[in-house]
A and B are shown apart, each in its own frame.
Chain A
């Protein structure tokens, strides 16, 4: 029995080291690990680099061994390459699929001779006290900047393009349309409780074709900037922050160019509604992956067309309104004119003459002169004639003839007189005067001023009505100037003009116009 026990003990002592030996012999480093080196990062075969650039080598190690392993990785760079950090990295992988990676930066001096260099990564894997060595190498073809520049080119820029980078003939080439969301659409979405994606941005794509005429595989990163043509500074409105993330983080593409190949890629382009129209410079930059050196730059002039819906819709509606009113008047002219006595027509004509003599004629020169001298603040001066005098006449005429249509006839006489005498048969005059007449007629009638029992004593009410009508026609006038005459006006200027000229001066003019009308009434009686 004792002998049996001794035999068993001896057997255990013999078998235990043998089992450990078997376990160690089962660990095959090539099968149980993945060890990758990419020089530069992104290139699995022969990489390309230029002298005088900083590159990143990518080292990756993954374990498929269900146990602990300690790894010491050493990167061996060719002589002359300058490593920015330590060449030896030690780490421990604990479980199956545990991994480790690093981007190791190094610098290639300008004076390194061109040629092919080998970068070696050696991993010493220690498993259960046993060390295994794995070696990986990467070939790095070192070229001069001129050679690389000759090999890569941006062969085509398509703007705007579809999401695959192809141009669409239905869109004007090299042109971006900066279009604010239609107010009607916004309102519709609000009413229907729907939400618009990326409400503040319109987006399109830029198609970029890159060609590699060389014999090396070249990994590149493609980015773009839209620059102010004068200052050369990037324009932020074309790289807006989206949900707090800079568009630089999304507007790039990486690709690997095989020898003698071309690739078409597309990059998204976001346009903020703040973007201004005008001419810009699109600059596409191609960098070698892992390098901060820009290998190729391609520039193209592009045009941004700014479309503001507010003034366009206003002009359209105002024109439609003016033409409808004209059509209505021509079709029912006899019925309309028969409502007025001959003396009414004569009085309107004479008031038209006075307005022309006191306002239009002096303003033909004064308007331009004050614009030329006072610039944006000329409305403070011209408004005294255009608004105060004009509304004194209109209000006094309404007091004398409180009938619907009197304002329209007065405006018509002014328009035709201006056309015959100063040649101002312009679309702006027609649209502005017709809108002013329509709004005034409607509001005066609705307020009971030109209805069957005219209420003419309330100066305040009439002042408010005329002020509101003139504010509206003032806004229409600016819209028409902007759309039909392509002129620019700042929002603050339009607001100031509408409030001071449109409301304040008109209110004052109307206030005094009623007194004037009442005095003239006594003359008529």
Chain B
């Protein structure tokens, strides 16, 4: 069963992916997000996606994680395919199915001439889905191979204020407790006759009935937790010491440099290419750059 735990919990092993410094992982993730949103070439996008997927093999992910990943990817890509099949607005486009006919009362007018499934939109959605799939896959790979405490240490190492990091630590620590509480409350509500799946006002009622006791517990817990933290000198000194110091290896540094350099180069090349295609800036000296952007990016 694929549940919240299989999505949320990391699998700690000793692989090359697991050993990467959390700061390096965050920087790799950000660089890859930039690369993914910059690319347009389907082959290069597929290559990026496959490269990221190969990381799961290197990290020796358990089957449950791979199943979760596969399910999320299938849903994500199918969702993109579906939406683009409906909203595809390029030519040529071939209608393969009519959802709302233009003559359909009210809806035909509301949808500004009907709603159709376009064949070309299916292909386009599949290609564009690779972009989100790459970012999602890499995000999950990073999360599933990094302990949340290390990730937060990484954030602090990247100059995120400690108070914010503390809030995130608190949130992460309390996540399993609150998930359990929410499911307990849902069970109690079901026993009292509420149907959480009832559409419309039923969902609002159920939400209120679930949120009120869950949040009331949170509010109660806040006081105790705040006193506990303050008694341990939280925010007493501007500088903090850490039990576990992060140290980036040479491999981490090389990987970060490669990713940041690649991302920066791709972004600059695509920016120059877009300025050229928009008629904003052109210089003949950049023709090889334009050729690279057009052919490969």
Contact = CB atoms under 8 A, between A and B. Distances in A.
Nearest to A496: B110
Interface centre among B94, B163, B203, B229 (most CB of A within 10 A): B163
Interface stretch (A37-45, A247-255, A353-361, A439-447): A353-361
Given A357-B175, A371-B79, A422-B143, A427 B226 contact: no
Given A372-B82, A413-B168, A389 B139 contact: no
B136 A423 contact: yes
Interface residues of A, number: 94
B110 A492 contact: yes
B7 A520 contact: no
Contacts of A388: 203-204, 207
Contacts of B29: 419, 423, 425
Interface in B49-93: 71-72, 75-76, 78-80, 82-84, 86-93
Interface in A472-525: 484-493, 496, 508, 512, 515-516, 519-520, 523-524
A148 interface: no
Contacts of B214: 354, 358
B111 A492 contact: yes
A423 B155 contact: no
Contacts of B112: 490-492
B218 interface: yes
Interface stretch (B13-21, B240-248, B250-258, B271-279): B271-279
Given A231-B92, A351-B218, A420-B151, A426 B161 contact: no
Contact of A369 (B75, B132, B225, B284): B75
Contacts of B266: none
A235 B92 CA distance: 10
Interface in A301-345: 304-307, 330, 333-334, 337-338, 341-343, 345
Nearest to B89: A488
Contact of B72 (A235, A306, A348, A368): A368
Interface string B141-185: 111000010011001000111011011101110110011001000
Interface string A278-319: 111000000000000000000000001111000000000000
B86 A376 contact: yes
A350 B163 contact: no
A156 B86 CA distance: 38
A278 B92 contact: yes
Given A343-B226, A350-B174, A354-B211, A278 B277 contact: no
Contacts of A392: 207-208, 211
Given A368-B76, A425-B29, A358 B210 contact: yes
B201 to A, nearest CB: 9
A523 B136 contact: no
A419 B139 contact: yes
A423 B138 contact: yes
B282 interface: yes
A169 interface: yes
Nearest to A367: B79
Contacts, number: 287
B105 interface: no
B106 interface: no
Interface in B76-135: 76, 78-80, 82-84, 86-94, 99, 110-112, 115, 121, 128, 131-132, 135
A69 interface: no
A184 interface: no
B188 interface: no
A304 B294 CA distance: 15
Contacts of A426: 33, 132, 135, 139
Contact of B171 (A304, A353, A485, A512): A353
B87 A485 contact: no
A349 interface: yes
A337 B92 CA distance: 54
Interface stretch (A137-145, A170-178, A454-462): A170-178
Interface centre among B136, B175, B220, B234 (most CB of A within 10 A): B175
A36 interface: no
Contacts of A338: 235
B87 A488 contact: yes
A422 B136 CA distance: 8
B219 A347 contact: yes
Contacts of A62: none
B30 A422 contact: no
Interface string A412-455: 11001101111111110000000000000000000000000000
B215 A396 contact: yes
B222 interface: yes
Interface in B1-38: 2, 4, 7-8, 26, 29-30, 33-34, 37
Given A305-B277, A307-B278, A393-B211, A490 B111 contact: yes
A82 interface: no
A80 interface: no
Contacts of A337: 161, 163-164, 235
Given A170-B276, A349-B171, A368-B75, A512 B90 contact: no
A365 interface: yes
Contacts of B26: 425
Given A235-B91, A392-B211, A423-B136, A357 B178 contact: yes
Interface in A1-15: none
A269 to B, nearest CB: 15
Given A371-B79, A484-B37, A357 B182 contact: yes
Given A354-B218, A484-B37, A485-B37, A279 B178 contact: no
A276 interface: yes
A35 B285 CA distance: 59
A135 interface: no
B83 A487 contact: yes
A367 B79 CA distance: 9
Interface string B208-237: 101110111011111101100110001100
B140 A423 contact: yes
Interface of B: 2, 4, 7-8, 26, 29-30, 33-34, 37, 40, 71-72, 75-76, 78-80, 82-84, 86-94, 99, 110-112, 115, 121, 128, 131-132, 135-143, 148, 151-152, 155, 159-161, 163-164, 166-168, 170-172, 174-175, 178-179, 182, 199, 203-204, 207-208, 210-212, 214-216, 218-223, 225-226, 229-230, 234-235, 238, 276-279, 282, 284, 287, 294
20 contacts: A170-B276, A177-B278, A179-B278, A229-B92, A278-B90, A304-B91, A342-B230, A343-B223, A349-B171, A354-B211, A367-B79, A368-B72, A384-B203, A396-B215, A409-B167, A420-B172, A421-B172, A423-B142, A489-B83, A516-B211
Given A353-B172, A423-B141, A516-B212, 14 more contacts: A177-B278, A231-B92, A345-B163, A346-B229, A347-B219, A350-B174, A352-B167, A354-B182, A354-B211, A357-B175, A375-B86, A392-B211, A427-B37, A523-B216
